[in-house]
């Protein structure tokens, strides 16, 4: 399912127009992004938890030349599904 199909599904379930559904989805995504940028986590009971994890700097290898390269530390978004979502998927 892509974003257009998601907007259509939300519009069908809620009775909102497709434009309103698109704005609602954009607002949700923006709110989650903002919370993760500020270091918070977002928990949606029954669905899951969005959080940020930190990856340490490490040394890697260029597969073509075999030369060592430094991979910098990075923050990575993570999603952990909740019990309700895991059970729904089966």
- pLDDT > 90? residue 71: yes
Task: Kindly give, in sequence order, each residue whose CB lies less than 8 Å from that of residue 33, ignoring residues fewer than 6 positions away.
Answer: none
Q: What is the CATH number of domain 3-89?
A: 4.10.520.10
Per domain, the residue ranges of the chain are 3-89
Confidence band, pLDDT 50/70/90 cuts, at residue 90: confident
Residue (of 33, 25, 32) closest to 3 by Cα position = 25
DSSP run (H or E) holding 20: helix 18-37
C-alpha–C-alpha distance, residues 38 and 90, integer Å? 33
Quick: pLDDT tens for 30-69: 999 999 999 999 999 999 999 999 999 999 999 999 999 9
Share of the chain above pLDDT 70, in %: 100
**pTM: predicted TM-score of the whole model, two decimal places:** 0.78
């Amino acid at each position: 399912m892509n974003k257009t199909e998601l907007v259509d599904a939300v519009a069908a379930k809620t009775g909102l127009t497709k434009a309103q559904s698109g704005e609602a989805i954009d607002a949700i995504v923006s709110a989650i992004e903002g919370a993760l940028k500020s270091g918070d986590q977002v928990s949606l009971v029954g669905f899951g938890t969005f959080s940020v994890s930190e990856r340490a700097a490490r040394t890697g290898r260029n597969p073509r030349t075999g030369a060592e390269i430094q991979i910098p530390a990075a923050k990575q978004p993570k999603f952990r599904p909740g019990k309700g979502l895991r059970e729904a998927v089966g």
